[in-house]
Amino acid sequence: MLFVIVMAGVLWGIGHLMKAPVQARLYMLGLLYIAVLGVQIALPEGAPLREATGGSPALWLLLGAFVLLALGYRAVLTRLRGRAEAQEAMREAAAPAVPKGPFTDEELERYARHITLPEIGGGGQRALKEAKVLVVGAGGLGSPALLYLAAAGVGRIGVIDADVVSLSNLQRQVIHTDAGQGMPKVFSAQQAIAALNPRIDVRPYNRMLTPEIAAELFAEHDLILDGTDAFATRAMVNAAAVAAGRPVLAGAISAWEGQVTLYDPAGGAPCMACIFPEAPAPGLAATCAETGVIGALPGVVGSMMALEAVKEVTGAGQGLRGRMLIYDALHGEAREIRLKRRADCAVCGGD
């Protein structure tokens, strides 16, 4: 067995020195495997060469079966990934083009109530048209945020979520419908946005957000809206946004209470790690599935997130940079907390 491993190493090393492609080197190892298996089958027991290469064909047959299974699994994953990427590319290609240049008559009528506002006007509406906003999560908070961002005329809206629509979602996730059960949430959201404003360029990402893709994805957008409900995911969003220099509008809800703030170290505000440097103890940050949530609360908080996004893009009013707005729906009260950066923050303290 050791003899065969040494031979395999020598073949791989020779291939590397000759700068042979990896595929060619794998073919060389495959030929070695076939030769060894042939020796095990052809030579009688006790033959020196057979003993030097393992002594029995059973071990090599098991090894071959394991390799075939691994290659088959990899091929299936590659095919599924290619199919998903092809579907996303087709959807992006079929997305209606966002009009460039001056506003069309349709746009002037659609956004007339915005343009009339002195704090927004034509310049602010153009900024919305040229903005690229990414919404992380198409659930309770993402649902109203996505609808109001689309209605406001945000030119490109990305939405990333790996979940599918289920019956329990429909009590609060108003972007989805009963008929959409089982559909990936990002595609359900894309349909709803297209029905509301067909001129929006929607980019659905039907996958889990990971650190590997977050950096590139965040760099393609101007503003991130975080509507997730797990601390680990929020921490990952925060770290990627800090690295990309992008502000994050973060919302959170539980039972009857919600909160909204804008994390933006590049703009002088704290990041999430400044305020929550460590994950809460088990049981202190339960999800909506564990604690329950009043159905309209995500609508209120998600709409606040969309409103703050419009203000951030257009420069209207005073945003929530360095402030956290907390809304108590049960008692109809709202309060504000001032937030400050921490010089020793592990994520943004060195900025």
Q: For residue 242, what is the domain's CATH number?
A: 3.40.50.720
Answer yes or no: is pLDDT of 8 > 70.
no
pLDDT digits (tens, 9 = 90+) for 218-265: 999 999 999 998 999 999 999 999 999 999 999 999 899 999 999 999
20, part of any domain: yes
Q: What does the pLDDT average to over 66-80? A: 71
Percent of the chain with pLDDT over 70: 83
CA-CA distance, 343 to 345, in Å (whole number)?
Answer: 6
pLDDT digits (tens, 9 = 90+) for 283-335: 655 566 667 899 999 999 999 999 999 999 999 999 999 999 999 999 999 99
Q: Which pLDDT value is given to residue 64? A: 72
Pair (63, 154) in one structural domain: no
Answer yes or no: is pLDDT of 100 > 90.
no
Q: Which residue has the higher pLDDT, 285 or 45?
A: 45
Number of domains in the chain: 2
Q: Which residue has the higher pLDDT, 14 or 184?
A: 184
Residue 176 DSSP one-character state: S
Pair (193, 254) in one structural domain: yes
CA-CA distance, 169 to 186, in Å (whole number)?
Answer: 14
Q: Which residue has the higher pLDDT, 197 or 69?
A: 197
Task: Give pTM, 2 decimals.
Answer: 0.71
Pair (65, 113) in one structural domain: no
56, part of any domain: yes
Amino acid at 142: G
Q: Which pLDDT value is given to residue 103? A: 87
Question: Residue 219 has which token pair?
Answer: 């760099």
Among 48, 81, 114, the domain-final residue is 81
The H helix count followed by the E strand count for the chain is 14, 8
Pair (332, 259) in one structural domain: yes
Q: Contact at 8 Å (CB) between 160 and 184?
A: no
Pair (69, 217) in one structural domain: no
CA-CA distance, 135 to 320, in Å (whole number)?
Answer: 18
| CB burial of residue 237 (10 Å; 0-12, 13-18, 19+) | buried
Question: Which range marks the domain in which residue 200 is found?
Answer: 102-338
Least confident range of 41-50, 151-160, 266-275: 41-50
Residue 77's pLDDT band (cuts 50, 70, 90): low
Question: Residue 142 has which token pair?
Answer: 């993402």
Q: Which pLDDT value is given to residue 256? A: 94
Sequence-ordered strand ranges (E) for the chain: 132-136, 156-160, 201-205, 223-226, 248-254, 257-263, 323-328, 333-338
pLDDT digits (tens, 9 = 90+) for 115-146: 999 999 999 999 999 999 999 999 999 999 99
| CB burial of residue 335 (10 Å; 0-12, 13-18, 19+) | exposed
CA-CA distance, 62 to 282, in Å (whole number)?
Answer: 44
Q: Over 185-244, what HEC string results?
A: HHHHHHHHHHHHCCCCEEEEECCCCCHHHHHHHHHCCCEEEECCCCHHHHHHHHHHHHHH
HSE (CB half, 13 Å, CA atoms) of 123?
5
Pair (52, 193) in one structural domain: no
Pair (205, 292) in one structural domain: yes
Pair (162, 296) in one structural domain: yes
Q: Contact at 8 Å (CB) between 145 and 136?
A: no
